[in-house]
Amino acid sequence: MNSKTIKGTAIILVFLLLGTLALLEEGPLTTAAEEAPALTGTARLEGPRPRPRSIRMTEKKGRPSDCRKLYKKALFDENLVVGKNGQLANVFIYVSEGLKEKSYDPPKKSALMDQNRCMFKPRVQGIQVGQDFLMKNSDPLIHNVRSFSMRNRPFNIAQPPKTPDRKKVFKRKEKEIMIQCDFHPWMKAYLFVMDHPYFAVTDAKGQYSIKGLPPGKYTLTAWHEELGEQEAEITVDASGAAKAAFTFKAEKK
């Protein structure tokens, strides 16, 4: 290889390196699935923002819980998580009518509920019939997972610290199964078992996204543990895009 060839090769390598650096500065590449149109929207609370409710962290008979050792400040309930501008988190949104009868294979990836710092994480989630549901204890103290399911067999599983994850598989669809820890009664979560994949949970910004919904007309249901349910009629166009917003009002006490 002569000097001209070496010089030319070096120039090409420099340009390739500069191009790679430019791509990195622009951010990670997005996949086609991430860019695909989707059903999107928001959920918000109308009216004054409620004050967060602190948790006393006492066990049965009023005994102080060891969970207090995991916190330097107050622990707040997640029953009503509202942003500064009314953004409503933990709203479960799903297609309730309009889907053609079809069986959907459950995801290969397991769903996970973690017992972390004496709270269930996430507060609300959806899984599919037949999907593995794992329960994990990340805390240095014992918890238990009690399901108040009706259409699926209820269970009550104790999980001491540093024990392996436990697994359950739900065989029937079921709405809002409450999960609770008997040791720490403020620990609650809600689980939806769906027979299709078209559902989502709003994030801290009150936003959600449901991808892959075929074109057509559907009924969309939004559920919140304290604010109840709402429905919306939507039409998904040929591109797969649609929007639906939900506004909840705080219950008068």
**197-210 confidence digits (pLDDT tens):** 999 999 999 999 99
**Could you tell me which of 86, 103, 89, 96 has the C-alpha nearest to residue 234?**
96
Mean pLDDT score, 44-53: 90
Tens of pLDDT along 158-178?
999 999 999 999 999 999 999
**Has domain 103-195 been given CATH number 3.30.110.60?**
no
- Residue 35: band (very low, low, confident or very high) from pLDDT cuts 50, 70, 90: low
Nearest 5°: CA angle at 224, between 56 and 202? 100
E strand or H helix at 167, and its extent?
A: strand 166-169
Average confidence score pLDDT of the chain: 87
Confidence band of 116 (pLDDT split at 50, 70, 90)? very high
The residues spanned by each domain of the chain are: 1-30, 103-195
pLDDT of residue 229: 96
135 pLDDT exceeds 80?
A: yes
pLDDT tens digits, 117-127: 999 999 999 99
Dump the DSSP string for 59-95.
-GGGPBPGGGGG-SS--B--SS-B-TT-BB-S-EEEE
